[in-house]
Amino acid sequence: MNASLRASALRRAYLRMTLALSPALGVLWLAWDGQVLAAVLLFCTVLTTMMIGTLVPRCALFGPMIKRLPRADNQVLLTIDDGPHPQHTPAILDLLDRHHIKALFFLVGERAAQHPQLVREIVARGHEIGNHTQTHPATTFWMLRPVRLWREIAGCQETLTTLCPEQPPRFFRPPAGHHNIFTAQIAGALGLRMMLWSARGFDGVDQRVPVITQRIASRLQAGAIVLIHECTPVAVEVAQEVTALLAASGLKCDTPPASLAFGDDEMVVERRAAP
């Protein structure tokens, strides 16, 4: 990636870090002034705000994100994370063809580099590819500093653009949806719009296919962005049920429109359904 673009993006990220840490001065001043309770309240407020913005996937506190499509278009978007996978991807592509569905595959850069023919096959069949980081550090992504974040996002962008220069990724999705104060800014510097979801079945942690499908069905409506995964023990079974569900919904299932913009809908705290 362009060195000047990287330097500019990292400067802005570290400026944002400085601003985010500025309340610490207020905490120290209050503590020094003997106002211990006020210092504790300020510290807890700032910490809580940071944790909500970081760990609640659909919270847009730290930057704009796409959480749904325009309802008026009568369209849903199927997004498929974590591929490509040598067995799952071909099977899922066949299911999509069978039901005349186009999807957005959020791919992991290092997996794409291992299976370049699958990436090209996804694009050749009329689907779109998105950026899902270079190594998918799902448990630590939310705490990465700007330099490592740049490596993850820019590295994946470079990998996928090299494989499919005619269709570079337009969208970025953070692993597990977790993001920090730098994520949207770094993604934006790379020309990417951050996309989350509005309907998921938690198939990354649950293997009960009927339950997964029902969770998605309960949130399926015009404008929904549906999330399923590759690289799970039930990936193909989930894809089979969800593609059939989408085909029967009467809603258009296509790749995102070129004019898709950030949404301004309210923050929704998504809770995992009870078993």
Q: What is the DSSP string of 43-107?
A: HHHHHHHHHHHHHSTT--TTS--B-S--GGG-EEEEEEEEE--TTHHHHHHHHHHHTT--EEEEE
Q: In the annotation, is 81 catalytic?
A: yes
Q: At what angle do helices 235-249 and 88-98 cross, to 10 degrees?
A: 20
Contact present, 240 and 205 (Cβ < 8 Å): no
Residue 271 is which amino acid?
Answer: R
Buried b (16+ CB within 10 A) or exposed e, 224-240: bbbbbbbbbebbbbbbb
Q: Are strands 128-131 and 103-107 parallel, antiparallel or unpaired?
A: parallel
Query: So what's the pLDDT on residue 204?
Result: 92
For residue 164 the two structure tokens come to 């499919």
Backbone torsions φ then ψ of 76, nearest 5 degrees: -120, 155
Catalytic residue among 81, 82, 203, 254: 81
Rounded CA gap, 123 and 164, in Å?
8
For residue 258 the two structure tokens come to 């070129």
Query: So what's the pLDDT on residue 264?
Result: 43
Contact present, 157 and 5 (Cβ < 8 Å): no
For 254, counting Cβ atoms within 10 Å of its Cβ (0-12 exposed, 13-18 middle, 19+ buried), the class is buried
A 10 A CB-CB count for 148 gives 14
Distances (CA, A) of 207 to 134, 213, 229, 233, 235: 26, 11, 11, 7, 9
**β-pair partners for 194:** 172
Rounded CA gap, 272 and 106, in Å?
22
Query: So what's the pLDDT on residue 263?
Result: 55
Q: At what angle do helices 23-32 and 3-21 cross, to 10 degrees?
A: 30
CA 226 to chain centre: 12
Query: So what's the pLDDT on residue 262?
Result: 63
Q: In the annotation, is 229 catalytic?
A: yes
Divide the 275 residues of the chain into consecutive groups of 10 and give the mean pLDDT of each group: 83 82 82 87 83 79 90 92 98 98 98 98 98 96 93 97 96 94 94 96 95 97 97 97 97 88 46 41
Catalytic residue among 85, 88, 127, 229: 229
Rounded CA gap, 43 and 46, in Å?
5
Strand ranges, E, within the chain: 75-83, 103-107, 128-131, 171-172, 193-194, 199-200, 225-229, 252-253
Rounded CA gap, 204 and 176, in Å?
9
Q: Provide CB contacts within 8 A for 4, sequence distance 6+.
A: none
pTM of the model: 0.89
